[in-house]
Chain A
Amino acid sequence: MNVDLVIAGRRIRLCSHEGVIIRPDDRFRAFTVPEGVRIDLMIDTIPGILSEADPWLTGAGIPFMTDVARAGQASEEGLQEGSYSSPGNEGAPDLTVEVCPGSGQIPPGAVKVFDAQLMEEIPGGVVNSGEPFWEIFSGEGVTCARVFLKDPERTALLVMPHGEKQWRIFTGEHRDDPVRHQQPGTGGDLSEPVSDSDSFTGQPDEALSRKQQTVDEALSQKKPTVDDALSRNHPTADDLSEKHSSAERALIILNPLPYPLDGLLLYFLFSRAGDIMIHGSGVSCHGRGWLFTGRSGSGKTTLARIFDQGGDRVIHDDRLVLRRQGKGWVMHNTPVYRNDEPRSAALDHLWIIRHGSANVSEPVIGAEAVAMILANCIQQNWDREAAVRLVAAAEDLASSVKVSRLSFLPDDTVRDYLRLRKEEDISVAAVAAEAMLRAGKEITVTAGGYSMWPVIRPGDAVVIAPYGEGAAAAGRIVALRRDGGFVLHRITRVMTVSGRELIVTCGDAAARADEPAGPATVAGVVISVTRRGRQFPPPRRRTPRLINRGWAILDRVIRSRLRKIT
C-alpha cells in the first residue's frame, strides 16, 4: 500500500510490501494526501540494505511499476493525475520510502560520523543522559540514520542511498512481534507512541510542556485497530482478506515514522534539496510573513502566543522549513504536534530575538546576518556538502529577506511595535535622509557596522552634514551611497584624473580601499559622533593595531547547547 504525505510542499510516498499496513501517527493526519486518490503501487526493490532477519523481502522482490504504467493503471481506475487536493504536490513524489519491519543493518564499511545523546530535563536545566539517541553512518554511496526507540530493545533505521530518491525505513518492529502481529479484525496495537516528544534530541525547550500535553492526549486515545487501519485505507478489509486468500495470513501494522526518525528523514530530505530547517516561530501578520528565531528560552513560543492572541495566523511555533520558491522564500510548518495542519507564508522578515527591556528592532546585514541565521538552523555539521549547501542557502536567504535583531517585551506591545512601526527599510530611511541632506539639513544616523572601528562603533549616533563643494579632503569621514543605504568610510585620497575629481575611501578597519569614485557617491560628511551621551568630533584614524582578536575575529556566534539538532 501507499501513503502519500505532503510536507512543506514536498511529496513523500511511503510504500509497503503486501501484508504491511502503513499507519502514520496523528501528527501526519493533515499532511496525508486524502484517500480515494491514492494509487496502490508496488515499487522496485530499492537499493539499500535489507536485514537478514527479513529474508522474505529479498526473496519475494517487490513488483515494480513505472510511472507510465502507474499512469495507465490510474487511468483504468478512473483516477486522474493531479487530482490530489493538496496544493503544489502534483506529479511524481519528491521521495519514495519503502517501509519495512525489522531493524535493518548498517551497510558493511559504513562508519559512524555523527551522533546525538538523549538529553534529559532536570530541575534547573538539561543534562546529557549519555544514552544514545540517534546515530548517523556514512558508507560508500549511502548514508544511514539509526534511532533508538523508546523500547530499548528496538532500533529503527533509515537508509538513504546517495543520489537516489528512493529510501528505505526499517521501523524496528519485527514480524514475529506478537504485539504488532495481528490477524485481520482482531484488533491491533500501534504501541509505538504517537510522539514521545517533539524535541529531536530529547532536549526540552519552552514548548515541551505543550508537546508533552499533546503526547499525553494522543496516547490516551483509543489505540487504532487493524479494522480502523483498513477502514482508512484502500482497499477495504474484505478486499484485503480476499486478496490474501488466507484469513490466517498475518498483517503487520507499521508506524512508518517513529520518533525521532521522522525528524531525521525530513532533515535529510530538505537539506539535500537545499532548503533550510530552522527553529523558530513563524507568523503571518497583515499579509507579511515574519519569522522569529533564537536560542532556547529567547521567546519564540511567547511571540507566537502574542501574535496568536492578536488574531494573526501562526505558521508554527517550533520548527519551520524555509524554501526558496520563485523570487522569494516561503516558510512552511512540518508535523510536530498532533493537531498540526499544513501552513505556509511568504517570508518577509526574519528576526533574531531576545528578551529585552524595550522593543527595539535593528537591521543586520551581510556576514553577520548569515551567521545569525546559521546559528539557529537545524544542521549536522559532519557532512561538508550539506554544510556548504546550508551556508549558501543562508546567504541567499539573508540577501532576499530582511534580517534584524529584536529585543522585545513579552507582552502585546511588541506586536504593535512591529506592526505599526514605520518600515525600517534602509532604503526608505536613506531616501528620507537624502532628501534632508539635499535640503541643507543635518541628519543623525545610528552606526551599525564595524568598518570604522574603533572611531565609530555600532550604536554610535553620527551626525552627517550636507556634502558641499570642496569638502573632499583626505582624513574626512563621509557617508557613501551604497546598496540603498549609507556606509561611513574615510577619504584617504583625492585625485584628479582627466579633469575629473575622484575620491578614494576606505574603512579604518578595512584592509582594502574602495574603488575610486566620483563625488556623486558621497551623500554627506560626518561632523560629530555621540557615544554614551558624549559628543565629539569625528576622530582621526588611530594607528591601527589591527590583527589581534578584537580586530580580526569579529564574532564567535555561540549556538545554544540546548539547541535541538533536527
Chain B
Amino acid sequence: MIMISLSSIPSHSPAVVYRRINDEYLLIPLTGNIADMDSLYRLTETGAFIWELVDGERAIRDITSKIVEEFDVEPEIAEKDALEFFREIGEFLHFREP
C-alpha cells in the first residue's frame, strides 16, 4: 500500500510511457524483466483529467479542488476517490511531501 495523503505531491514517474489517444490515456510501465511486463493501463476521460493535473507541484488536495470544480461531486467523496485513484496508479507516479 502506497502511503499518501492529501498533502502528497504527485509527479509522473520517468518509468512510464504515456500517450493521450482521443480523450483517454494509455500508461505503459517500463520494466527490466519480462515477468514484470504484464499489464498496461487505460485511463478514462476522468482519469485523463486527473493525470493532466499531475505536474509535480500540485498536492492531491489541490487536484481534488479542481475535480470538485469540474465535476458535480461532494468534496469528501472527491478526496476519498482521489486518494484511491492515486494509490491505484501509484506505480506510475512519484510522491513527495511538501
Which A residues lie at the B interface, using CB under 8 A?
A: 112-117, 128, 201, 366-368, 370-371, 374-375, 379, 381-384, 387-388, 391-392, 395, 450-451, 507, 509-512, 543-549, 551-561, 565
Contact = CB atoms under 8 A, between A and B. Distances in A.
Q: Which of B21, B49, B88 has the most CB of A within 10 A?
A: B21
B54 interface: no
A558 B38 contact: yes
A548 B37 CA distance: 25
Contacts of A375: 40
Contacts of A558: 38-39
A267 to B, nearest CB: 13
A213 B73 CA distance: 62
A382 B32 contact: yes
Interface string B22-56: 11111011111111011111111111111000000
Given A115-B33, A545-B73, A552 B46 contact: yes
A556 B41 contact: yes
Contacts of A556: 39-42
Best-surrounded residue of B25, B42, B48, B78 (most CB of chain A within 10 A): B42
Contacts of A114: 32-34
B22 A366 contact: yes
- Determine chain B's interface SS by DSSP, over half rule: mixed
B30 A554 contact: no
B67 interface: yes
A384 B32 contact: no
20 contacts: A115-B33, A115-B34, A367-B25, A368-B42, A375-B40, A382-B32, A391-B19, A509-B45, A511-B71, A512-B23, A546-B73, A547-B71, A547-B78, A547-B81, A547-B82, A549-B84, A551-B47, A552-B81, A554-B24, A559-B40
B85 A507 contact: no
A547 B80 CA distance: 9
Q: Lowest 6 A-B CB distances belong to which pairs? A: A552-B47, A367-B24, A511-B49, A367-B21, A547-B81, A555-B42
A511 B68 CA distance: 11
Given A545-B73, A552-B47, A367 B84 contact: no
B45 A382 contact: no
Interface of B: 17, 19, 21-26, 28-35, 37-50, 67, 70-73, 77-78, 81-82, 84-85, 88-89
A548 B47 CA distance: 9
Given A367-B26, A384-B17, A511-B49, 6 more contacts: A117-B34, A367-B24, A387-B28, A547-B82, A554-B43, A559-B37
A245 to B, nearest CB: 50
A112 B40 CA distance: 23
Nearest to A547: B81
Contact of A509 (B22, B37, B44): B44
B38 A510 contact: no
A372 to B, nearest CB: 10
Given A387-B17, A391-B17, A507 B45 contact: yes
Given A382-B31, A511-B48, A557-B39, A549 B21 contact: no
Contact of A370 (B26, B29, B45, B50): B26
Contacts of B50: 547, 552
Nearest to A389: B17
B77 A554 contact: no
Contacts of A560: 38
Contact of A553 (B30, B43, B72): B43
A552 B39 contact: no
A366 B71 contact: no
A204 to B, nearest CB: 15
B15 to A, nearest CB: 9
A547 B85 contact: yes
A557 B25 CA distance: 13
A509 B31 CA distance: 32
Contacts of B46: 509-511, 546-547, 551-552
A87 to B, nearest CB: 34
A201 B34 contact: yes
A374 B34 CA distance: 15
A565 to B, nearest CB: 5
Contact of B28 (A112, A115, A391): A391
Contacts of A546: 46, 67, 71, 73, 81
Most buried by B among A117, A368, A511, A543: A511
Given A510-B23, A511-B48, A553 B89 contact: yes
Contacts of A552: 43-44, 46-47, 50, 81, 85, 88
Contacts of B30: 381-384, 387
Nearest to B77: A545
A557 B21 contact: no
Given A545-B73, A547-B46, A553-B88, A113 B24 contact: no
B85 A128 contact: no
A367 B44 CA distance: 9
Given A544-B72, A545-B73, A381 B19 contact: no
Contacts of A549: 84-85, 88
B82 to A, nearest CB: 6
A333 B23 CA distance: 34
Nearest to B49: A511
A305 to B, nearest CB: 28
- Chain A CB count within 10 A is highest, among B23, B73, B82, for B23
A375 B26 CA distance: 11
A374 to B, nearest CB: 6
B45 A451 contact: yes
Nearest to A114: B32
A554 to B, nearest CB: 4
B21 A370 contact: yes
